[in-house]
Amino acid sequence: MPMVKSSIVAIFPKVHPCAEAQTVSLHQLAGERLLLPTRGGSLSNLIQTAFNQEKISPDVVYEGSSVGCIELVKTGMGVSLHAREFAAMLHRDADISCVEFSLELSFTYGLGHREFENLSHVEKLYLSYMKKYAMDISAPSVD
């Protein structure tokens, strides 16, 4: 069940030349050392696919935890790519800068489950709740 659409942002050390840019392209990251989320995960696969489509061979120097990636970015070891929601939690960190991509790299968070008729009563209630939650968060906000 699709839940929330998100996108990927680049996370730079504050001293990096691209740290103050409004947007960045995958081609600008071609020569950068990349610090990526764990290999084989959906986010990592999306990132790798995006580089492949642009015919760019990324220089991945670390694949591991998101927190590990950010700590390494702070030391200047490289640049990391993460979901916008994760990056939003880092907005107060003075040592890093999050930059949008010029070409949107998006994906959808979702919830996988067995066929509805094979779910328990509690699982069906939970799934119904999550469907309502997904509709509520995707509705336009009225301020």
Q: What is the pLDDT of residues 62-112, one digit of tens each?
A: 999 989 999 999 999 999 998 888 888 887 778 899 998 887 776 666 677
**What is the C-alpha to C-alpha distance for residues 84 and 90, in angstroms, rounded to an integer?**
10
Length of the chain: 143
- As a whole number of Å, the CA-based R_g of the chain is 18
pLDDT band at 4 (very low <50, low <70, confident <90, very high): low
Cβ atoms of 98 and 19 closer than 8 Å: no
CA geometry: angle 100, 18, 81, nearest 5 deg: 45
pTM of the predicted model as reported, rounded to 2 decimal places = 0.73
Confidence bin at 127 (pLDDT 50/70/90): confident
Grouping H, G, I as helix, E, B as strand and the rest as coil, residue 12 is strand
